Amino acid sequence: MINVPELFGSMVFNEHVMRERLPRDIFKALQNTMKTGKAISSEVADVIANTMKDWAIEKGATHYTHWFQPMTGVTAEKHDSFIQPADGGVIMNFSGKQLIKGEPDASSFPSGGLRSTFEARGYTAWDPTSYAFVKDSVLYIPTAFISYSGQVLDKKTPLLRSMDALNKAALRVLKLFGKTPSRVTPAVGPEQEYFLIPRELYKQRPDLIITGRTLFGARPPKGQELDDHYFGHIKTRVLEYMEDLDKELWKLGILAKTRHNEVAPAQHELAPIYSTVNIATDHNQLTMAVMRKVAKKHDLVCLLHEKPFAGVNGSGKHNNWSMSTSDGENLLEPGKDLKNNLQFMLFLAATIKAVDEHQDLLRISVASAGNDHRLGANEAPPAIISMFLGDEITDLLETLAADREYSNHVGNKLSTGVDSVPIIYEDTTDRNRTSPFAFTGNKFEFRSLGSSLNIACPNIMINAAVADVLNGFASTLEKVAPEDFKSAVLALIKKEYVAHRRIVFNGDNYSDAWKEEAARRGLLNLKSTPEALALYDTPQNVAMFKRLKIYTDEEVRARKDILLENYCKIINIEALTMYDITIKQILPAAVRFSTELADNVAKLTALGVEVSAQRETLGSVASLITAIYRSAQKLSDIQIEVKNEQDLQKSADLCYSKVFATMQELRTHCDMLETLMPKDLWPFPTYGDLLLYV
């Protein structure tokens, strides 16, 4: 039996370990840094580094790494051993300087032109708000990654900046309500979906190995039609994997809490207990890495791609977001007394306005080649951003907007006078699973994220958008005399709700009627990644990021370029892989089959046997061979066209409108062929093999 409390965090250099091992004054200095963000002296850093190293060696570490999150989305690390020559042998050494600042040769990380190659190096700086940990005999030091000229090259730094912006703005508003907590922090609980498939079958699928998704595959005879997988009995092999995964995550101090089967066959979900957003981000990145690693031990492969299988539900990540004060108050908790209710309504109105004004940024933050397969495909929220508030809150806001009398669902009749804003009960009614941004009682659930996404980016956008609106609210309300405060707040809530209620939609987001309605309301519908990214650096967006000191103009543009480039690269790799598999595996198999059929037809006809079925199949296979060949050539020609396009945005647009479209065309022919071919001649495992036999 495992002792979970003892196991939990056993590989983490956490507060408990620091308190136990660091001298009192050093511990206090570090605590102070973690709270205020002030720098620590080199003497203090030396003591911490040495203590950290001794602890890490006890946990089996031989190396350390500055662990950071470059703009490509994965995490990066370069290992250095602790060894230092001494007396003909070595000692284990780790200095304060090495702890605080590392200098990876980062010239090949994308910088979007921020860092010219002659000054290729950037440095990583320790983020003491996220604990160091030991994994695979390496001490991991969570860090931010910055270029020598000071521009940010990672996702962690802007995330920390956005948290700071939100903190400042929320404190301004809270002060007006007579509250002075020392900090407001956003918290996130990311629910992570994934697929598990047998490793031996994975190895036979070059598309999965190279691109993370299947580029071919006809639907299995049994998909998710029966809905018997969702929350269903977990198979032994999967359960053993989940148990192992939980253990590994607990050791790293990750609050793995919920595990269950998801909608599609072979699909599962893991949810942690929520934590401060920068910790949640680190932990989610780690969770994905550990998921992959543990799968290997069980002869499985963990697929984190948004759409590993066409025609089967894809994988997402729900970002549950809230903000709370250092006094433990959740600002999105409706609360039980009227005063708090007014404050809640104001923070709610701020979020509504933020989402409406920054639909583009929210959409951009979840845009990727992989996620393009999901958004709008009736399995994930659509590409149109809208909010679900539930009937009760919507009714209340509508009543306020119309100056009507309010009667809540419990039957309480109340007028909308200042002192009688009604108590709102947590919405326990059916949660709308189709909404991209849903209020779920005391938090918002942003549901458009793809499963492989680094959650930093969407949270930067949410924090920034809400912070910006709160600053505006504070500026308005700071001018109001105390005796008029309540009525001014109510008036502000009303005004902003009326201005932004078009973003609220409680109905079915998958329906075509909503697409038409959203267009009438003037909401954005950015269908593809290139279309969304085009709006990243609009003057309003750049101005907001600058105002909040999250990104400079250059940094916004660099990010846009990196994302566009990354999109083109992914589509290009997929197209090349597809072409290769078509020419080297699928067409030869089809030719073999048609030759067999032709021989059979010739032999049987000579014997006077009726062969119309074979003839018909032969005809279908032959015309598919032609269609496949044509589409493959077309794909190859279009890629040349894309290569010749110098403009990044135009390149990305072409990748979507032409390359991707032709890939779909080629796939349709190949999948059709698969349904006609005998199993032993088809060159790789089918969807049925991959999905139904774990």
Residue 180 C-beta: closest distance to ligand ADP, Å? 22
What binding mask, one character per residue, do residues 188-227 give for Mg ion by CB under 5 A, x or -?
Answer: ---x------------------------------------
Question: Is the Cβ of residue 191 or residue 537 nearer to ligand ADP in the bound state?
Answer: 191
Q: Report the partner that residue 271 touches, choosing among Mg ion, ligand ADP, none (CB closer than 5 to 8 A by kind).
A: ligand ADP
Q: Report the partner that residue 269 touches, choosing among ligand ADP, Mg ion, none (CB closer than 5 to 8 A by kind).
A: none
C-alpha 457/C-alpha 475 separation (Å) is 27
Query: Of residues 369-408, which lie at the interface with ligand ADP (CB under 6 A)?
Result: none
According to DSSP, the residues that pair with 592 across neighbouring strands are none
The answer to whether residues 53 and 22 touch, using CB atoms and an 8 Å cutoff, is no
Integer angstrom CA distances of residue 665 from 197, 326, 379: 27, 55, 22
Query: What angle do helix axes 553-581 and 612-643 make, rounded to 10 degrees?
Result: 150
Question: Is the Cβ of residue 77 or residue 191 nearer to Mg ion in the bound state?
Answer: 191
Residue 551 C-beta: closest distance to ligand ADP, Å? 25
> Of the ranges 28-36, 98-106, 151-159, 188-196, which one interacts with ligand ADP (CB under 6 A)?
188-196
Residue 447 C-beta: closest distance to Mg ion, Å? 7
User: Which residues neighbour 646 within 8 Å (Cβ) at sequence distance 6 or greater?
Assistant: none
The answer to whether residues 281 and 456 touch, using CB atoms and an 8 Å cutoff, is yes
Residue 374 C-beta: closest distance to ligand ADP, Å? 17
User: For residue 526, is it left (φ>0), alpha (ψ between -120 and 50) or beta?
Assistant: beta
DSSP string, 546-568: HHTTS--HHHHHHHHHHHHHHHH
Residue 366 C-beta: closest distance to Mg ion, Å? 15
Residue 191 C-beta: closest distance to Mg ion, Å? 5
What binding mask, one character per residue, do residues 267-286 give for ligand ADP by CB under 6 A, x or -?
Answer: ----xxxx------------
669 forms part of the interface with Mg ion (CB under 5 A): no
The answer to whether residues 102 and 123 touch, using CB atoms and an 8 Å cutoff, is yes
The answer to whether residues 154 and 70 touch, using CB atoms and an 8 Å cutoff, is yes
User: For residue 558, is it left (φ>0), alpha (ψ between -120 and 50) or beta?
Assistant: alpha
Query: Of residues 298-357, which lie at the interface with ligand ADP (CB under 6 A)?
Result: 320-322, 330
Question: Is the Cβ of residue 456 or residue 523 nearer to ligand ADP in the bound state?
Answer: 456
86 forms part of the interface with ligand ADP (CB under 6 A): no
Residue 431 C-beta: closest distance to ligand ADP, Å? 7
Max intra-chain CA distance, the chain = 103
Residue 323 C-beta: closest distance to ligand ADP, Å? 8
Residue 442 C-beta: closest distance to Mg ion, Å? 14
The answer to whether residues 207 and 281 touch, using CB atoms and an 8 Å cutoff, is no
Tokens of 508: 């079915």
Question: Is the Cβ of residue 264 or residue 323 nearer to ligand ADP in the bound state?
Answer: 323
Q: What are the phi and psi torsion angles at 194 (to 5°)?
A: -160, 165
C-alpha 653/C-alpha 451 separation (Å) is 24
Q: What are the phi and psi torsion angles at 680 (to 5°)?
A: -70, -15
Using CB under 6 A, pick the residue from 189, 308, 316, 382 that binds ligand ADP. 189
Judge residue 328's burial from the number of C-beta atoms within 10 Å of its C-beta, 0-12 exposed, 13-18 middle, 19 or more buried: exposed
C-alpha 601/C-alpha 587 separation (Å) is 21
Question: Is the Cβ of residue 45 or residue 385 nearer to Mg ion in the bound state?
Answer: 385
Query: Of residues 430-449, which lie at the interface with ligand ADP (CB under 6 A)?
Result: 442-443
- Please give the distance of CA 45 from its chain centroid, rounded to a whole number: 34
C-alpha 287/C-alpha 264 separation (Å) is 21
How many residues lie near Mg ion (CB under 5 A)?
A: 2
Question: Is the Cβ of residue 188 or residue 624 nearer to Mg ion in the bound state?
Answer: 188
Question: Is the Cβ of residue 45 or residue 271 nearer to Mg ion in the bound state?
Answer: 271
Beta strand residue intervals within 47-174, DSSP E = 63-67, 79-81, 83-86, 89-92, 101-102, 122-126, 132-135, 138-147
373 forms part of the interface with Mg ion (CB under 5 A): no
Question: Is the Cβ of residue 255 or residue 480 nearer to ligand ADP in the bound state?
Answer: 255
What binding mask, one character per residue, do residues 307-346 give for Mg ion by CB under 5 A, x or -?
Answer: -----------x----------------------------
Tokens of 500: 């932004």
DSSP string, 499-549: HHGGGB--S-TTSHHHHHHHHHHT-----SHHHHHTTTT-HHHHHHHHHTT
How many residues lie near ligand ADP (CB under 6 A)?
A: 14
Question: Is the Cβ of residue 9 or residue 102 nearer to ligand ADP in the bound state?
Answer: 9
The residue sitting closest to Mg ion, measured at its beta carbon, is 318
The answer to whether residues 62 and 82 touch, using CB atoms and an 8 Å cutoff, is yes
Residue 445 C-beta: closest distance to Mg ion, Å? 5
Q: Report the partner that residue 587 touches, choosing among ligand ADP, Mg ion, none (CB closer than 5 to 8 A by kind).
A: none
191 forms part of the interface with ligand ADP (CB under 6 A): yes
Residue 241 C-beta: closest distance to ligand ADP, Å? 20
Tokens of 659: 């390359």
Query: Of residues 105-134, which lie at the interface with ligand ADP (CB under 6 A)?
Result: none
Residue 283 C-beta: closest distance to ligand ADP, Å? 11
Question: Is the Cβ of residue 214 or residue 452 nearer to Mg ion in the bound state?
Answer: 452
187 forms part of the interface with ligand ADP (CB under 6 A): yes
Question: Where does this chain bind ligand ADP (CB under 6 A)?
Answer: 187-189, 191, 271-274, 320-322, 330, 442-443
Question: Where does this chain bind Mg ion (CB under 5 A)?
Answer: 191, 318
